A and B are shown apart, each in its own frame.
Chain A
Amino acid sequence: MSRLSRVLTEATAAARSFLRRRTAVFFTFFFPVILVVIFGALVRTQPTGGGLFAEPAGYYIPGYLAVVVLFTPLSRVGSEIARHRDGGRFEKLATTPLSRAEWLFAHTLVNVAIIGAASLLILGLVLAVTDATLVVSPALAALPAFVALAVALFCGLGAVLGALADSQDGVIAASNTVALPLLFLSETFVPPALLPDWFLPAVAASPLTYFARGTRAIVHEPGAWVGDLAVLAALAAGFLALGAYAVPRTD
């Protein structure tokens, strides 16, 4: 059995398990939709005013996408690890040929597929219910790569959180603690101009910043995005490696 076959076997089981949890599927897609409706359609942006949501509607497209590429992998992979640990599944898998890296890669593939679909939904919804417009260019083809790499990155981080937390409750609490600051302090919804200068290095240290910058350069303000993609790819590789190492093998 090849490595690819093992990964596909694990991914198939993971996808089936997820798709048969109807509430999980519903809220995976419903949560970002609510955000788009509240902030995009009800609050609306005020380009001539000040404060939050003062940028053109298109500025916030990366933010809406960031909601799903950040929250969903963190909580899903973290919870899955807690569930596996509680159910003795890692103990079982440790005696099979499936490696920890293969396990994480398989679950990352499932998350990329799920979140890719959710991102597509959000993008369509943002364009439909807000004034946002999409810059159509060949660079748009790189948007899926940004989504996939960001999902992989946060799957790796989710694996670390899942390994460190001792329960599913702990995973959720840890995921929220990590994700909320990242979401709002990574050039997604809050422009750097609204932040104090001393905090900007922290913004630059956030992996999500490179997702936001790169995708914004593609969908809203055409500009250079290859560098952001490269940083994101490097970070994704690093976090996946860290996550694979963190996935429990023994008790």
Chain B
Amino acid sequence: MNETAAASASASADDVTEEDVSVVVGEGVRRSYGDVVALDGVDVVVEPGEVFGLIGPNGAGKTTLVRALTGTTDAEGTIRVFGSPPDAVDPQRIGLLPQSFDPPERLTARELVGYYGGLYEDARDPEAVLGDVGMTDDADAWYETLSGGQKRRTCVATAIVNDPDLLFLDEPTTGIDPAGRRSIHRLIERLAADGTTVFLTSHAMDEVERLADRVALLRDGAVVAVGAPADLIAEHGGDPRLEVELGGSKPDDADLDGVRGALAGIEAEATADCPAVESTADGLRVLGVRPEGIGAVVDALGSAGVEFESLTWAEPSLEDVYLRLTGEEYSPRAGGTALGDSEEGEGR
């Protein structure tokens, strides 16, 4: 864990004056499989009603952390769920969608929801649950005959059939088409609005950015950053950027010098700072451009005699945070030509 993340995570834990007010508290959670350390002293706090996102590369320890918090794997450290050890929590209050979950394949979706609901003291009407995940029309098909997305939605239904107070969803939208994903997103938003605490792991950064109140980024079994998506993006997301797709051949050195010179005249307020320019496979990337500065960049390109086919502006996202903090960031500078001040660009 880096200093920033450590401070943030510790602050989250220290801010909780009474452990039992937090739905989930994990301190120094550690889990090893032989010589492989899956979790290396993870601190995590989830507050009531919060949608807590957990992101990280494959093998970072996300599923192991979910298992540790649900008591389905043994872990060192302190874990409290509703103030109790995970295996002492009333199961009525917990819902779990494991990452790798394959329920009895020759039961229908309706039977599966009824089956898992039948294991609880108090369960929701299976028909209502099937409706929540958009499976009403296919409820009588055997699980094995459903599409991947329908299967996953059925599995989500089995996780919410007991109307849990705390819902663990380990990659709930894997394999689900965009419409199905949206229905799951709406479901999660509705559950959160009704007071359900949701612990969500996902590789879909847009999903986490949209749904999560706070996000923790796990890398190599340790939390490297935690906070609200907007805060993480502001701190780690980097600059907004303008992708310039050029027509025809790539600009030569003279063209690039012209662009650099023209960009030097851009008003500072139109950009985050003095803009940096990179060459890309399709053209140019201008970093640090605010929306109101796009026109100035267009003018600069025109004055330099550079013709372009399209412009795409993008602000930093959680995906940029993820790529930067996991060290998986694609860096065109390594193979491209930096036209601006590269050190300033890096520093922003």
Contacts and interface: CB of A to CB of B under 8 A. Distances in A.
A86 B102 contact: yes
Contact of A20 (B106, B115, B116, B162): B106
B302 interface: no
B120 A1 contact: yes
A97 B74 contact: no
A59 B46 CA distance: 67
A11 B98 CA distance: 22
Given A87-B102, A88-B98, A91-B101, A9 B71 contact: no
A197 interface: no
Contact of A16 (B71, B102, B107, B121): B107
A86 B132 CA distance: 28
Contacts of A14: 104
A10 interface: yes
B111 to A, nearest CB: 7
A105 to B, nearest CB: 14
A20 B112 CA distance: 14
Q: How large is the interface on A (under 10, 10 to 19, 20 to 34, 35 or more residues)?
A: 20 to 34
Interface in A79-110: 86-98
B72 A249 contact: yes
B103 to A, nearest CB: 6
Interface in B85-126: 91-92, 94-96, 98-107, 111, 115-116, 118-122
B150 interface: no
B263 to A, nearest CB: 54
Contact residues of B: prevailing secondary structure: loop
A16 B121 CA distance: 22
Which has the most chain B C-beta neighbours within 10 Å: A6, A86, A90, A251?
A251
Contact of A88 (B71, B94, B95, B100): B100
A96 B91 contact: yes
A90 B103 CA distance: 10
A6 B118 contact: yes
A92 B158 contact: yes
B271 interface: no
Contacts of A98: 119
Interface of A: 1, 5-6, 9-10, 12-14, 16-17, 20-21, 86-98, 249-251
Q: Which 10 A-B pairs have the closest CB atoms?
A: A87-B102, A9-B118, A20-B106, A88-B98, A88-B101, A95-B96, A96-B119, A13-B115, A17-B104, A1-B121
Interface of B: 67, 70-74, 91-92, 94-96, 98-107, 111, 115-116, 118-122, 142, 158, 162
Given A89-B104, A250-B74, 8 more contacts: A12-B115, A13-B115, A87-B102, A87-B103, A88-B99, A94-B70, A96-B120, A96-B162
13 contacts: A1-B118, A13-B107, A20-B106, A88-B99, A88-B102, A91-B96, A92-B98, A94-B70, A95-B71, A95-B94, A95-B95, A97-B121, A250-B71
